[in-house]
Amino acid sequence: MAGNSIIKLQSVDIFQQKHLVLSGVNLQIDKGDFVWLIGQTGSGKSSLLKVIYGDLNIQTGNAQACGYILKDIKEKDIPFLRRKLGIVFQDFQLLTDRTVEENLQFVMEATGWTDKKLIANQALEVLEKVGLRSKIKKMPHELSGGEQQRIVIARALLNDPEIILADEPTGNLDPETSEEIILLLKSISQQGTAVLIATHDYHIIRAFPSRIIKCEKGKVLEDALIG
């Protein structure tokens, strides 16, 4: 793939079932970029993310993500694409009956890790990156919302992804905790992992000015202004 581009969409039409959600999408995200994705509910933000992680097929235009050509990607290759993407959701999706360490081990084993020592070391390393190494033996319910979201980010980092896709990552958090989470994601981007954050929280965007793309009226607009 040319240069440092991790995501590249050219003239892509995005459908949900047979409904055209976004047309003529052009988007490029490079190594280490930190990008906000905004737009009203139903404007196509989630559909755009689904195209990037291989959950929605495309028929028109060209689209590449982490070295994969999305139009041609085979079902069996989608898990490999997703290993190069870290995905962070609003509602954490941690396994409530397992410790932090077991949550991380589960994901690693599911994505092909087999060496117990490497698994243990990687779990510690990603927890170190999010500042929660001391919580490794805790259960999710013993953690605050902000700590749980940090664990989710640690989980997203397990396979050294090229990009993190975060869908409303501060949606369930108070303003102060939200800022801490965005600072963490910003520092991750400064280490070379691109970060794309879909959000409704304009306060947080103003606090951390960066490139903005906006889904509006069936289009994706670059360098959009927030209202």
Average pLDDT, the chain: 92
What count of residues does the chain have?
227
Q: Coil, strand or helix: which one is 86?
A: strand
Q: Coil, strand or helix: which one is 11?
A: strand
Model-level pTM? 0.92
The pLDDT value given to residue 223: 72
Task: Please determine, for residue 227, whether its predicted confidence score (pLDDT) is greater than 60.
Answer: no
CA-wise closest residue to 45 among 224, 219, 225: 219
Sequence-distant (≥ 6) Cβ neighbours of residue 143 within 8 angstroms: 100, 135, 151
The pLDDT value given to residue 226: 60
